[in-house]
Each structure stands twice: as C-alpha cells, then as structure tokens.
Amino acid sequence: MTREELKATAVAMLDKAYCPYSHFPVGAALECADGTVFTGCNIENAGYSATICAERTAVVKAVSEGHRDFVRIVVAGRSDDYCVPCGECRQVLNEFAPNIEVICLNKAGEEMALPLKALLPYGFDHTYL
C-alpha cells in the first residue's frame, strides 16, 4: 500500500469513530511488514477508563490475527494541529515496534512523520524486567 493510500485509509476511519463525549474522532491505519493493514478508530465509553484509542484498536486487531511486525502507522484527526498518539498508545506501539514510523495528520491532510523514538525516547520495555 502506498503512503497516500495508507493515509486515506486512516482518514476513512474517522467516520467510524464512536466519540459522543469528546467529539474528537481519530482514525488509524497500521501497516505490517508483510503489507497487511489493520484499521482502528477511537471507541469511547461513559466510564472513561474503558475508552480505547484508534491506534490501540488497530494494534489489538493485528496482534489478535497473529501480526506483530509493524512498520508504520497513520493517525488522523479533524483538528487544526497534528493528531499524535497519547502516551498509552506510544507505550503499546513501543511494545511491538519501537522503530515504527508514526505519521500524524491534521484536518487539512498535512503530515508530520517521525520515528516512535522521537515521541517516546525512554519507552519502558522488556529490558527493565
């Protein structure tokens, strides 16, 4: 899948988001090393701790289908600024793909691309255990 197709896939997920509380839809498209793509959207819950972000939705879907080798993820939002993964999502991505490319989009479709290490320079991993 091309970079532009992956971005369009993440943007398409915005319409599937369930966000009646924040009104902040987020879509994600996660590309595996073998080219398989898993999508996600945020799914809110009145009990806020039960809410799951788009990025983690995509990762959970991928891992549950036997995929763990991720190369890039696009995170799309409808805000003026870039939609970046929250801290919890950064940590989950770090568990499986510490070298993943993270492409953050704003509502204009402009992108900011950077390695996860720039977003989470001291991520907790198995070496601390």
- Per-residue pLDDT at 26: 98
Annotated catalytic residue within 4, 5, 44, 55: 55
Q: Cβ(112)–Cβ(104) under 8 Å?
A: yes
What are the backbone angles phi and psi of residue 5, rounded to the nearest 5°? -65, -40
Give the whole-angstrom CA distance, residue 104 versus residue 77: 8
Q: Is 111 a catalytic residue?
A: no
Q: Which of 19, 20, 55 is nearest to 39 (CA)?
A: 55
- Per-residue pLDDT at 121: 96
- Per-residue pLDDT at 78: 97
Mean pLDDT per 10-residue section of the chain, whose length is 129 residues = 97 98 98 98 95 98 97 98 98 97 98 98 93
